[in-house]
């Protein structure tokens, strides 16, 4: 089968801790060891459904919907990054995407909470109530999405997501690799790992980066949870078909 590799993102991301400085609501940003994420991939596969957006009317409706809904989202940045083409999964509200999260106790400094950190990240995206849901399953062979671990990347990154799409821009499978250590050796704590997982699952769903530093999809992740703008952006993405808009 012919496959064309299409690099779609080259990124660095960091995670900063938002730490209470005293037992009040006053908070400030406090740097913790940098967590970086790089997503690359996007392998085009032959279309398997007759949903190619060669229908100009469909394209115009999608463009209008994006224009109407773009306030409070970073969809315009993603369109710029992708040359006006959006990738996402097909709607499958009844059949969840199955996810297997590896346990890797043989890795130095492995934290048994990491698996739950990743599972909770998938649940957080599920809570947005998209037309796609996730289900963590124990059997790797049956899972569509694999989350695996390495000690550290050779580059200053801590996570990487790859997905494949068909030639109509529908994402058909994906995988995530997370590192236990930063390139320089610091260990990611449980909350930093969840933040990284939230960011990588955002890529898996079809999101790209935003220059807004307060978003989970910022290249340097400062937040620990999805924001209203993250949620509005993914909802808007899943309100239109995948594919080029021009």
Q: Which residues bind Zn ion (CB under 5 A)?
A: 11, 13, 37, 39
Number of residues assigned to the chain: 246
Conformational region of residue 83, where left means phi above 0, alpha means psi within -120 to 50, and beta covers everything else: left
Question: Residue 160 or 231: which CB sits closer to Zn ion?
Answer: 160
Question: Residue 13 or 234: which CB sits closer to Zn ion?
Answer: 13
202 neighbors 194 (Cβ within 8 angstroms): no
CB of 121 to Zn ion, least distance (A): 13
Closest by CA to 10, choosing from 151, 160, 182, 167, is 160
231 neighbors 222 (Cβ within 8 angstroms): no
Question: Residue 39 or 117: which CB sits closer to Zn ion?
Answer: 39
d(CA 242, CA 33): 36
E strand or H helix at 136:
strand 132-136
Question: Residue 37 or 158: which CB sits closer to Zn ion?
Answer: 37
Conformational region of residue 51, where left means phi above 0, alpha means psi within -120 to 50, and beta covers everything else: alpha
Question: Residue 62 or 176: which CB sits closer to Zn ion?
Answer: 176
Spatial neighbors of 30 by CB under 8 A, at least 6 apart, are 16, 17, 18, 19
E strand or H helix at 199:
helix 190-205
Question: Residue 53 or 153: which CB sits closer to Zn ion?
Answer: 153
Cα separation of the two ends of the chain: 28
CB of 29 to Zn ion, least distance (A): 19
CB of 74 to Zn ion, least distance (A): 13
């Amino acid at each position: 089968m012919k496959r064309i590799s299409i690099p779609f993102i080259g990124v660095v991301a960091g995670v900063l801790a938002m730490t209470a400085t005293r037992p009040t609501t006053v908070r400030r940003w406090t740097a913790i060891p940098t967590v970086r994420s790089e997503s690359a991939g996007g392998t085009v596969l032959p279309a398997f459904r007759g949903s190619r957006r060669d229908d100009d009317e469909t394209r115009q409706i999608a463009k209008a919907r994006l224009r109407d809904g773009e306030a409070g989202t970073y969809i315009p940045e993603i369109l710029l990054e992708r040359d006006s083409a959006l990738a996402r999964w097909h709607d499958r509200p009844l059949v969840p995407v199955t996810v297997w999260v590896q346990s890797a106790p043989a890795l130095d400094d492995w934290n048994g909470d990491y698996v739950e950190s990743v599972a909770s990240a998938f649940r957080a995206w599920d809570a947005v109530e998209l037309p796609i849901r996730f289900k963590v399953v124990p059997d790797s062979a049956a899972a569509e999405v694999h989350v695996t671990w390495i000690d550290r990347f050779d580059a200053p990154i801590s996570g990487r997501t790859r997905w494949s799409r068909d030639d109509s821009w529908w994402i058909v499978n994906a995988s995530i690799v997370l590192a236990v250590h930063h390139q320089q050796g610091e260990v990611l704590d449980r909350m930093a790992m969840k933040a990284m997982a939230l960011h990588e699952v955002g890529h898996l769903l079809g999101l790209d980066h935003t220059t807004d530093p307060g978003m989970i999809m910022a290249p340097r992740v400062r937040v620990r949870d999805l924001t209203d703008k993250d949620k509005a952006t993914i909802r808007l993405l899943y309100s239109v078909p995948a594919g080029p808009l021009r």
